[in-house]
Amino acid sequence: DSGVTQTPKHLITATGQRVTLRCSPRSGDLSVYWYQQSLDQGLQFLIQYYNGEERAKGNILERFSAQQFPDLHSELNLSSLELGDSALYFCASSPTSGRANEQFFGPGTRLTVL
Amino acid sequence: TQLLEQSPQFLSIQEGENLTVYCNSSSVFSSLQWYRQEPGEGPVLLVTVVTGGEVKKLKRLTFQFGDARKDSSLHITAAQPGDTGLYLCAGSPTNDYKLSFGAGTTVTVRA
């Protein structure tokens, strides 16, 4: 158990819909990262938040957005869903000092868009 | 094009055999990490290597960071079925803060 929690575990929805994925980082970690993993693209970095502020952006679509709240949990919002958005979505958190690039991953949310 | 190239993509061996997975790049990294991921679960951090030429051992797993900090390898001795999984290398180039992942090597150890 990494200490990172994600809900829900599974999500099935239809094209055009909007969903919200939730992540709680490890106790004391200020950074939260979101990744998308699909069979053909591998693990792709989407976005990072640090203590409530956006820190880095990767290959995140405009239809996707995220935020980190004062209690440090984070939400990833996916809208106007398409079939190709079906994937595993992982959240990770990292220590605030020392080896800040070491990331601890949650169990993931499997999104299926029908 | 992946910043980190892993090889081979797939590896299937018999229990008790040895295996090596490679992670290569043309970029210099301040550190490299190795993760293992099992189906339907999140990647789990195995090790971080920081210094060029560094060798770290974790039981039957040996990790090496290249002298120029552009490549790394993972060697498993006497593999066991429990070593089965997707092995991912990851790192941040010295001129970039973001962590990039290789495409991974799927290792299957047959009993």
Q: Omega before A8 cis (within 30°)?
A: yes
Q: Is A35 helix (H, G, I), strand (E, B) or coil?
A: strand
Percentage of chain B modeled with pLDDT above 90: 81
Reply yes or no on whether the pLDDT at A98 is more than 60.
no
- The predicted pLDDT at position B97 comes to 64
Among B36, B5, B15, B22, smallest CA distance to B108 is for B15
- The predicted pLDDT at position B93 comes to 77
Across the interface, whether the CB atoms of A42 and B31 are under 8 A apart is answered: no
pLDDT digits (tens, 9 = 90+) for A27-40: 989 999 999 999 77
Q: Quick one: average pLDDT of A86-113?
A: 87
- Across the interface, of A4, A103, A110, the residue whose CB is closest to B99 is A103
Centre a 10 Å sphere on the Cβ of residue A85 and count the other Cβ atoms it contains: 21
Across the interface, whether the CB atoms of B101 and A43 are under 8 A apart is answered: yes
pLDDT digits (tens, 9 = 90+) for A43-88: 899 999 999 999 888 889 999 999 999 999 999 999 999 999 999 9
Confidence band, pLDDT 50/70/90 cuts, at residue B61: very high
DSSP B9-59: SEEEEETT--EEEEEE-SS-EEEEEEEEE-TTS--EEEEEE-STT-EEEET
B97 touches chain A (CB under 8 A): yes
Across the interface, whether the CB atoms of A56 and B103 are under 8 A apart is answered: no
On chain A, the residues whose CB falls within 8 A of the CB of B97 are 55-56
Q: How many CB pairs under 8 A join A and B?
A: 55
Return mean pLDDT, chain B: 93
pLDDT digits (tens, 9 = 90+) for B26-36: 999 988 999 99
CA distance B74 to B107: 12
